[in-house]
Structure 1
Amino acid sequence: MVSSPLAQPFQRAQPGNGLSAADPQLALAVADDGFLRSLLTESLPAIAHPHEIGSVTVEVGVPLPQSHSAHGQGRMDALLTFEHINCVLAGSYPDAPPLPDVHNHREYQAITPCHSDLATLAQNVSLTEAEALLARSGFDPDEVQHIINLPSQGWHKSWWYSLAPDGFLTVPFQRHIRSRCYADGTVTLQFKDHYAQQRPEGFHSQPQKLPVIVHSPQISFCDNLAQINLSRQALEIPQAILIADNLSELEVEGYIRQNVSLYRQRSLEHLLNANCRSCAQTKCPLQGVDSSPVLACRSFRPVEVGT
């Protein structure tokens, strides 16, 4: 049996509890980037690790194709699209592994005996595009400027990790990047990799789509699952996220066994009930202000109890 805070043992949620059916969809529509990422990383089971996720977007109230809906009127509550990253720059996020500890040339050669051909990352793009591309790859602002302003024979060397199919990091490899800046203001970025055995997949990430369904407590487990399955069939993918609270232990186990990841509906409430007085966003000038006129906020984060 699955143990989860989503479960209330053998009790079905009662209609009318918590948010109305429309509220979670509205919360998803105004959700910020951090919250959308939490849908992927904090669901049960999680869809992806933080280092596997690039950009994230959401569409709300997406119609299903007529072939996948009753009378052509079906829809999924939301469609989440995210970039699934293949390679991670060492040290580019808080939990990322640090630079490999290579003390001598022999150790370095042991993990970099092979090298790839020179590949083009971006050709004749604007300076702004080149900087944005490098920043999305994990380089900090100083590193971005260093790469952009390299001399003609210069290379920027950095350590990276490939992602295995299960999302875990593999043997490190070294990536050499160079830039070419032209008189018309455009930039070309090129790279080659030095690796142990299997060639890394470069900078490419793959877009993935996931249906997000809001649980309807007034209908049966089977009917909720049928709606999820219609969305999955329309997208031709095996996974889905169900936003729910107060499921029974049997329902939690049933959804998980059907490859559905569960996310707490209560986590959406703060998006629609902003209160500057009890907000933890210290960088906001209205944080802690009793007279703030703000009623809904993308960045509202409630102060944790006990802090």
Structure 2
Amino acid sequence: MEYSSRKSVVAAIKSYTISRGVDYNVYEPEPLTFYVKCKTYGNGCNWLIRTSLIRKKGCWEIWRYNGRHTCTIGTISQDHSKLDSETVAEAIRPLVESDSSIKVKFKIAEVQSRFNYTISYQKAWLTKQKSIAKVFGGWKDSYQALPWWHSIVTQKMPDQLKYKGTPLVAVAQDGNQNIVPIAFVLLEGETTDAWHFFLRNLRRHVVKKDGVGMISDRHESIRAVVNRFGSNWQPPRACWMFCIRHIDSNFLRTFKIPHLQKLVVNIGYSRTVEEYNINYKRLEERGEAYARWCDAIGLRHWVLAFDEGHRWGHMTTNLVECINSVLKGA
């Protein structure tokens, strides 16, 4: 028998071995030769096969073959050593081509139907990724193709090109008052998953120092991530604080009383406990509901006198808004 390539002859031998529930060892895995023997060769089974590249013909040829297997290997039951990821990936390729989001359990069923073996969930998942890469290209290839794709889209649809997504940005300031953008990412929106991805990687790869202060708005997705166990954005590793401008607008949205906004801002900017008590008392005299609303925020999150120096005087997220506007413009 003749085969077009080494890959095709190896695949044929694997398929034969898997379908009969036997196994083999490779003796000469050379570039121009493929020589294998039954795993029980010399102990009741003399099956072997030897193939080589015939240069004149430009093909691979089986030139030695010892009959059929005279053994059975009872230890192979659920899976087979030759049923590797490459073999499985080729088997499930048609499924991936028709639906790349097909569930792993259907791939396991397809392999069971084709080979009469049940592979593990992990193997099925890994081979699914390999099949997707074979059909659609890998992540690296796809990323490298983006500039070409972008240029074609802008040529063909210059008036229809729309950019979607939300930029999440982290900005710092150094000792010389320079604004330093340290990380940004474009994600689907301000979801909990998006903020978790951003803040987790920011902590892992950029902000490794303990005792840092983080100022943001009070978005529920950020709150969920910061309060998540192991987030590393809680004391003593970090201190999460709120932008006074956002607290100001939240207060107005809740009570619709513009003339009290300035008093709320003054409470946030209080530099001493005495100053805080004076401003807080003024607000409380105008209505206990306003004071209780402020109490619910938590002093260390928004009042300068209780931040333990983590703010370095910054009360807003204005620095990040500067960088944000630059990114949006680009």
Q: Which of the five TM-score ranges fits, normalised by the shorter chain?
A: under 0.3
Larger RCO, structures 1/2 (Cα 8 Å, 6+ apart): 1
Work out which of the two has the higher radius of gyration on C-alpha atoms and give 1 or 2.
2
TM normalised by structure 1 equals 0.23
Q: Which structure shows the bigger proportion of residues in strand conformation?
A: 1
Choose between structure 1 and 2: higher helix proportion.
2
Tell me the TM-score normalised to structure 2 length. 0.22
